[in-house]
Amino acid sequence: MLDRIAATLALGAVLALPAAAQDLTVSHGYSNFGELKYGPDEPFSYVNVDAPKGGEISLSALGNFDSFNNYTRNGNVAVGTDVLYEDIFVSAADDPYGVYCYLCETIEYPEDLSYVLVNLRDDVTFANGTPMTAEDVVFTVDLFLEQGLAEFRNAIDGYFKSVTQTGPLQVRFEFEEDVPKRERMGIVGIWNPFSKAWFEETGARIDESTLTPFMGTGPYVVGEFDTGRSLTYTRNPNWWGADHPYNQGRWNFDSIRYEYFGDSSAALQAFFAGEYTFRIESTSRDWATGYDVPPVQRGDIVKETLPDGSISAAQGFVFNLKREEWQDPRVREAVRMMFNFEWSNETLFYGLYSRPYSFWGGSDLAAEGVPEGAERALLEPLVEEGLLNASILEEEAVMPPANDAASNTPDRRTRRAALALLSEAGYELGEGGMLRDAEGNTLELVIIQFNPGFDRIVNPYVENLREIGIDARLERVDNAQYIERRRSGDWDLTNQSPGQGFEPGGGLRQWFGSETAEDSSRNIMALADPAVDRLIEVVVNAETLDELRPATRALDRALRAHGFWIPQWGNSEHWVAYWDMYRHPDEIPPLALGVLDFWWYDAEAAAELRASGAL
């Protein structure tokens, strides 16, 4: 095998070197910032390498599903399909910047990263046992560039001069000269190879919904499923990666089962009845009051709070900026002012939540205070060109409006300020106490939701909006309607969580770039702002942390100043409850809870639960 790799590397070097030869770095991974934490044969330090394999873990999902294809916006995709596939590179949950060869043995690249040679492993197989080759990788790249989501294709359009097979197990990714250097290695590693032969045989397309999963290399395959109700992923007994060093202590369950429910209340009661066995709690009311039940009291169910070191999810409402009324920042600000988080947290959330304030909350990438130094220098030209308001240079970074917790209705000063903004925008109180424009039309605002658990939170917000004359209402629809209305733009406010990562890059275009404003599953608000576009490019082109930090803070400041986002609530911890037959490492890594990844099943404890009649 070593001889084969050496020969392949030599061939790659001959094919790759330009006239003015560059030295090639050969490595098992890459980091834009600093050294890699792990070697090529080193298990991740946070796992239990002796964790037993076996057992089932079962979880819940809301709504229903009618497709296993998560690469299209058509259909309602089943939860958990990521376990079917694997990327060329893998990341560690305690190394925010490193990527490691996984489906590959090594990568080779010159100092300027004009190209990358990926030397694939010779033991990787698809779920049907056929070997994965360079031909499959090139096929997959071409497939996504032809049939992938428009927002993804737009985001990476023009990255590659070519992606070619240069050997049975070698792929050469060659970049266009203007592609940011920091983006290059990441775009090499994101591909999860599909079987070319399988696609050609079946005629499958990744832009169509399907209940036939695509042929991947992952640790699990789809087992039994009842469309829209339940599904099970079962371990592939012939999975090629079982002995890979990076998989030690990982992917420990024999099966992963999901049960679907119409609402969160039904799902919680089903958990206590043992219909599924692991729950990640997302509702503060249930966490505070809903677990005082016999299985928890007896200790059959463990209720545990675990640390979360990741960047906050930035959960919030977003405006549909395609609608003319929400293009006015004064109108958006008035609507933002009427959501009373403080009252909601005290009255509805049992004081358990904090409010998101940044798209990089909890990290050193979040904008704070008044801009200084390099961050200010990035903002000044945009102010001079009239793309940003001059106040962004002199005022502290925009924070969510604050209200009194004593009453849901914001105080008189806040209401007067909101009405003044609306008056400036051309709305005056008229017939029926409703705000009306010059033509007599009301300012209508529709919030769409599918989960009835949100009613108790959204309805008080609707009351506050109607208090100042906005014709607001909550429309709760079923899951299929919710998905379709979000896609078609038939809404005014809806939920979105546009929180970002520690190394922001080209994905920012999918979230916030003008090129994705017309059709995107991420930029659903249709944000198209030239100042934001300019700052995105600065972030993408940053090559050092000293460049990345101020650029990201400037972008964060501009996004928050725009006002398309109404922060809701967030949690800096993981809330989990599980039947006492699952175990986890003593230390949870900062960047992942890892329930499916590195938890495991305790067969002896499970037998005791069953013997006692608890399950």
The model's pLDDT over 444-468, given as tens digits with 9 standing for 90+, comes to 999 999 988 899 999 999 999 999 9
Cβ atoms of 188 and 159 within 8 Å: the answer is no
Question: DSSP 3-state assignment of 448?
Answer: strand
What are the C-alpha distances in Å from 212 to residues 68, 78, 202, 232, 464? 7, 12, 10, 14, 47
Per-residue confidence band for 513, with pLDDT thresholds at 50, 70 and 90: very high
pLDDT of residue 154: 81
Find all residues with CB under 8 Å of 527, minimum gap 6, and list them.
Answer: 321, 512, 514, 517, 562, 564
The percent of residues in the chain predicted with pLDDT above 90, rounded, is: 89
| Residues 244-278: tens digit of each pLDDT | 999 999 999 999 999 999 989 999 999 999 999 99
pLDDT of residue 227: 95
Give the Cα separation of 170 and 161 in Å (integer): 17
pLDDT of residue 18: 43
pLDDT of residue 277: 98
Spatial strand order of the sheet with 278-280 comes to 278-280, 573-579, 301-307
Give the Cα separation of 269 and 273 in Å (integer): 6
In CATH terms, is domain 316-567 a member of 1.10.645.10?
A: no
Per-residue confidence band for 12, with pLDDT thresholds at 50, 70 and 90: very low
Q: What are phi and psi of 195, to 5 degrees?
A: -80, 115
State yes or no: pLDDT of 147 exceeds 90: yes
Spatial strand order of the sheet with 29-31 comes to 29-31, 98-101, 89-90
| Residues 335-388: tens digit of each pLDDT | 999 999 999 999 999 999 999 999 999 899 999 999 999 999 999 999 999 999
Give the Cα separation of 95 and 246 in Å (integer): 13
Domain range 2-202, CATH architecture: 3-Layer(aba) Sandwich (3.40)
State yes or no: pLDDT of 11 exceeds 70: no
| Structural tokens at position 457 | 């939170």
Give the Cα separation of 79 and 63 in Å (integer): 10
Cβ atoms of 574 and 278 within 8 Å: the answer is no
The DSSP bridge partners found for residue 67 are 77
- Helix spans in 273-411 (H): 284-289, 294-297, 329-337, 341-347, 373-384, 391-394
Give the Cα separation of 579 and 605 in Å (integer): 9
Per-residue confidence band for 19, with pLDDT thresholds at 50, 70 and 90: very low
State yes or no: pLDDT of 479 exceeds 90: no
For residue 369, give the nearest of 556, 195, 162, 165 by alpha carbon. Answer: 556
For residue 47, give the nearest of 574, 502, 604, 596 by alpha carbon. Answer: 596
pLDDT of residue 6: 35
| Structural tokens at position 85 | 């596939």
Q: What is the pTM of this model?
A: 0.86
State yes or no: pLDDT of 314 exceeds 80: yes
Per-residue confidence band for 7, with pLDDT thresholds at 50, 70 and 90: very low
| Structural tokens at position 522 | 């991420």
Window from 15-29, 65-79, 200-214, 319-333 with minimum mean pLDDT: 15-29
pLDDT of residue 21: 55
Helix H, strand E, coil C: the string for 58-112 is: EEEEECCCCECCCCCCCCCECCCHHHHCCCCEECCCCCCCEEEECCEEEEEEECC
Give the Cα separation of 64 and 93 in Å (integer): 30
Give the Cα separation of 81 and 96 in Å (integer): 24
Cβ atoms of 256 and 80 within 8 Å: the answer is yes
pLDDT of residue 145: 94
Find all residues with CB under 8 Å of 496, minimum gap 6, and list them.
Answer: 316, 317, 318, 524, 525, 565
Cβ atoms of 258 and 231 within 8 Å: the answer is yes
For the chain, the structural domain boundaries read: 2-202, 316-567
Looking at every residue in the chain, the average pLDDT score rounds to: 94
Per-residue confidence band for 10, with pLDDT thresholds at 50, 70 and 90: very low
Q: Say how many residues make up the chain.
A: 615
pLDDT of residue 1: 33
State yes or no: pLDDT of 483 exceeds 80: yes
Question: DSSP 3-state assignment of 382?
Answer: helix
| Residues 166-192: tens digit of each pLDDT | 999 999 999 999 999 999 999 999 999
Residue 238 identity: N
Find all residues with CB under 8 Å of 565, minimum gap 6, and list them.
Answer: 314, 316, 317, 318, 496, 498, 525, 559
Task: State the DSSP H helix or E strand holding residue 575, giving kind and residue range, or none if neither.
Answer: strand 573-579
Cβ atoms of 99 and 185 within 8 Å: the answer is yes
Find all residues with CB under 8 Å of 480, minimum gap 6, and list them.
Answer: 64, 76
Cβ atoms of 345 and 551 within 8 Å: the answer is no
| Residues 208-217: tens digit of each pLDDT | 999 999 999 9
Task: State the DSSP H helix or E strand holding residue 172, giving kind and residue range, or none if neither.
Answer: strand 170-175
pLDDT of residue 181: 92
pLDDT of residue 405: 93
Give the Cα separation of 138 and 160 in Å (integer): 12
The DSSP bridge partners found for residue 165 are 171
Residue 457 sits at the vertex; the CA angle it makes with 573 and 422, to the nearest 5 degrees, is 115
Per-residue confidence band for 5, with pLDDT thresholds at 50, 70 and 90: very low
Q: What percent helix, strand, coil does the chain show, rounded to 5?
A: 35, 20, 45
Find all residues with CB under 8 Å of 266, minimum gap 6, and list them.
Answer: none
Buried b (16+ CB within 10 A) or exposed e, 336-375: bbbbbbbbbbebebeeebbbbbbbbbbbebbbeeebeeeb
Angle between helices 412-424 and 329-337 (to 10 degrees): 160
